[in-house]
A and B are shown apart, each in its own frame.
Chain A
Amino acid sequence: MSNWIEIAALEDIPKLGSRVVKTDTMNVAVFRTRDDQVFALKDECPHKQGPLSQGIVSGTTVTCPLHNWKIDLASGCATGPDEGCTNAFNTKVENGKVYLSI
């Protein structure tokens, strides 16, 4: 069922940073970690819908810029003691290209 869409070259996403991908229905935040893992989350914090793409990435978490909730990049869920999840999407990197499946 995977429906891979090529979105960018890996270098287009800054290390420990993110890019916003605009789709017809929503914004998706695509993150790159220090060791070049790529994750994608719906660009809305489960708390007050803050844009997670604008947060600081460390390890495999991102900290929401609005109220400092820390969201796990793999699951999209807040790390304790906060509770809530945003959608997480599959990604893959092949030959230096990043693909997203929504």
Chain B
Amino acid sequence: MKEKLVLVGNGMAGVRTLEELLKLDPERYEITVFGAEPWPNYNRIMLSPVLAGEKTVDDIILNDRAWYEDNGITLHTGDPVARIDRVGRKVVTENGEEHSYDRLLIATGSNPFIIPVPGHDKDGVIGFRDIADVEAMLEASKQDKKAVVIGGGLLGLEAANGLMKNGMEVTVVHLMDILMERQLDRPAATLLKRSLEERGMKFLMEAQTSEIMGSGRVQGVKFADGSEIGADLVVMAVGIRPSIELAQSAGIHCERGIVVSDTMQTYDPRIYAVGECVQHRGQTYGLVAPLFEQAKVAANHLAQLGIARYEGSVTSTKLKVTGIDLFSAGEFNEEEGDETLVLQDAAAGVYKKLVIRDDRIKGAVMYGDTMDGTWYFQMLRDGTDVAAMRRTILFGQHDLGDAGHGDETRVAALPDDAEICGCNGVCKGEIVDAIITKGLFTLGDVKAHTKAASSCGSCTGLVESILASTVGEGYDAAPSKKPLCGCTEYSHDEIIAGIRDHELKTMDAVRHFFEWKNPDGCAACRPALNYYLLARWPGEYQDDAQSRFINERAHGNIQKDGTYSVVPRMFGGLCTPSDLRAIADVCEKFDVPEMKVTGGQRIDLFGVKKEDLPAMWKDLSAAGFVSGHAYGKAMRTVKTCAGKTWCRFGTQNSTGLGVRLEELTWGSWMPHKFKLAVSGCPRNCAEATIKDFGVVCVDSGYELHVGGNGGIKVRVTDLLCKVATEEEVLEYCGAFVQKYREEAHYLERTAPWVERVGFDYVKQAIVDDEAQRKALYERFKYGQKFAQIDPWKAVAEGKDQHEFQPIEITAA
């Protein structure tokens, strides 16, 4: 017989836990849900748009009744649980219905805090918490004129905006002297107030409510200083209180909220709690993103996997008032010793502030231009060292070289037909529509459903901003620890370290050790694990062709029509007439439809049929060519300039050095593609300063540059150091490559890797620590013994024929 799971509270946190649980183990429990409201689970954070008339109640239903039925869940709406009998292990509803449980999940949420002033219970005084409140406000707006909203925080301002949209005259009463003081600093709050005033909202600041006046129904509000204003409707939006009465009456330990452990269990281990009713490590949360993280953990334990822990959340906030862009996160009011970076343009209505401590972002407030809010938030949670970017960081990510999106920084102001994802042609309207109608909360969801940001990723920031501005505080920013893929809970770093420290030498061993959910892994983790094992155990680990992306399995680049492109390696970009003749012969022999000179100074042969590849490689191999690895997460090319032999400005033998570097590094598998260049003088014709490893020759030696790339986000290299001899160039290059190979995440180029770990860290390892440099270089050279085997020659000689030869049959 199945165990019985009862959920008390049919809201977002509780139902999200059920969804996560069903993903992990759909058969374990017989599930019953009790909700106080008459609705199925709806998106509470979308109440503001419903009030403002921008959406209907139907739009914000997340799980309709069919969903409960389809998943075999019994739903009781409109009948709240009145009592928990922990000894008898059952719940009793207000209507007297009893239901036993093996495990109980409490997700009772929170209640609006109603200030207990005289008259607070009069007709016409309401909170802003559920659909009933919204309906009451909409009803009131039909006949009444004047509304007073008590509370100038997030909720109060959203309520006030909604009422104003419904034609009411609205006054916001706030105890403090600035609005949203928990999210904004003074300058941002001032801009916000001004902009709301321009829309017709009125404010009474530093006003303490002392009495709600009226006989029976509300007629006005009186303040501590004796003044009063008239009102037909009073909305109390001063805050929320965790709803703990039910748990408390059952004797479960509560403080401000229901106290839970890192596994979301209450003091009664059969009883779990998630959501706004919970107090975890002394914190209560009123935003949705943390609740979803809690839901994941609770589900993991309910499914008896027992490997997840909730460790608290950092939250960010957006205000959902159409046309107002506002963002806040972290500790936005500086403390002594903190630095602040401020950009203020009052006329344009733009204000940005970052609070920085020890070169890390601690908090951010933005008004008017919030495009980069998600970027700052990401760096805040990752603890990214921002020392190198501080001069430009306030101008945003696009100022660091993000291509393609220009000045479109005000996401909320963009029209619906603005193209957001240039790769897949996805417009803003489609994204917003998918978020609302499909109830999406995460970047991953949006990518899966709309394809936006799922190709090159350069619009990720824009998509995140749209997500954040559409779902407001419900935006579920990726958890601070990112699992390698959906098959595991562990991160890239944990897996890299595990492979090293526990001597895991096969993919099955890694998947077993790190509790993979799918025995085969998936298309995302298989190539990553294959690379990590190959990089860590050269000569020991047997490369798994079936875990490589097709390009690396077929040693060519798959094109959109299923043909392949072939790039023979030309060391340093040098070639001879006989090389070119051999390439020309091959092209004619195999009817190559197009040839092109690549950006990396090689020749690309397009449109080759897969079954022709081995024969073509045989000819190229006979002419002395090896694979150019233009298809792989591998060392690609060394680009060189004209060089000292011919160029009147040339200093060192740069072309010769380029050839030596390519001979050293070719064949090496990498986390991502890796490009080198050598320029013969500081004019830098080989563009060495946008390469993963670049050398600029000068009269006195060689400048070594690292961590650059062209592409989606151009990044100029950092100058690693200057050395005097070619031998040193090779040693530093090999050491840098090996450091990157051993520590970067799969599919992370050197540019984001250097930014993530900090340039100083890399410099310390390669330049300052001679012993480490030499050890890295030795390890690199050792690995190369096994890597510098030409895959083309191997195939031409008969390896992996099944990969290239189709089976031909004639249908009878």
Contacts and interface: CB of A to CB of B under 8 A. Distances in A.
Contact of B809 (A5, A57, A63): A5
A69 B527 CA distance: 17
Contacts of B455: 67
A57 B544 CA distance: 13
Contact of B521 (A8, A14, A58): A58
Interface string A57-77: 111000101111010000000
Interface string A39-60: 0000000001011001111110
Given A51-B562, A58-B518, A27 B806 contact: yes
B526 interface: yes
B105 to A, nearest CB: 26
B518 A7 contact: no
B521 A66 contact: no
Interface stretch (B468-476, B545-553, B574-582): B545-553
Contacts of B589: none
A97 interface: no
A54 B558 contact: yes
Interface string B99-137: 000000000000000000000000000000000000000
A94 interface: no
A36 interface: no
Pick from B518, B554, B807, B810 the residue with the most CB of A within 10 Å: B807
Interface string B514-547: 0000111111001100000000000000000111
B449 A22 contact: no
Nearest to A102: B811
Given A5-B809, A19-B806, A22-B808, A56 B560 contact: no
B802 interface: yes
Interface in B29-59: none
A23 interface: yes
Contacts of B809: 5, 7, 21-23, 100
B561 to A, nearest CB: 9
Given A20-B806, A21-B806, A58-B526, A81 B545 contact: no
B812 A55 contact: no
A12 B545 CA distance: 15
A85 interface: no
Contact of A22 (B520, B551, B553, B807): B807
Q: Which one of B448, B518, B547, B562 has the greatest number of beta carbons of chain A within 10 Å?
A: B562
B558 A65 contact: yes
A89 to B, nearest CB: 11
A7 B807 contact: yes
Interface string B782-812: 0000000000000000000010001111111
Interface residues of A, number: 39
Contacts of A95: none
Contacts of A30: 807
B523 A56 contact: yes
Contacts of A82: 448
A5 to B, nearest CB: 6
A81 B550 CA distance: 24
Contact of A14 (B523, B526, B802): B802
Contact of B562 (A5, A24, A50, A70): A50
Contacts of A93: none
Interface in B432-482: 438, 448-449, 454-455
A15 interface: yes
B721 to A, nearest CB: 40
Contacts of B549: 56, 65
Given A27-B806, A48-B560, A55-B550, A3 B812 contact: yes
A3 B812 CA distance: 8
Contacts of A14: 545-546, 802
A96 B546 CA distance: 21
Contacts of A21: 806-809
B546 A22 contact: no
A58 B545 contact: no
A71 B271 CA distance: 40
Contact of B520 (A13, A16, A66): A16
A2 interface: no
B530 to A, nearest CB: 10
B554 A56 contact: no
B524 to A, nearest CB: 9
Contacts of B802: 12-14, 19
A102 B807 CA distance: 15
Nearest to A19: B807
Interface in B331-348: none
A102 B811 CA distance: 8
A66 B455 CA distance: 11
Nearest to A26: B811
B811 A34 contact: no
A14 B549 CA distance: 15
A22 B562 CA distance: 14
27 contacts: A3-B812, A5-B811, A8-B807, A14-B546, A16-B547, A19-B806, A19-B807, A20-B807, A21-B807, A21-B808, A22-B807, A22-B809, A23-B811, A50-B562, A51-B562, A54-B553, A54-B554, A54-B562, A56-B527, A56-B549, A58-B523, A59-B518, A66-B558, A66-B560, A68-B523, A81-B438, A100-B809
Given A34-B520, A67-B455, 18 more contacts: A3-B812, A5-B809, A8-B807, A12-B807, A17-B546, A21-B808, A22-B809, A34-B519, A54-B550, A54-B558, A55-B550, A57-B520, A57-B546, A58-B523, A59-B520, A63-B523, A65-B558, A68-B523
Interface of B: 438, 448-449, 454-455, 518-523, 526-527, 545-547, 549-551, 553-554, 558, 560, 562, 802, 806-812
Interface of A: 3, 5, 7-8, 12-17, 19-25, 27, 30, 34, 48, 50-51, 54-59, 63, 65-68, 70, 81-82, 100, 102
Give me the 5 closest cross-chain CB pairs, A-B, nearest first: A63-B523, A58-B520, A54-B550, A20-B806, A56-B523
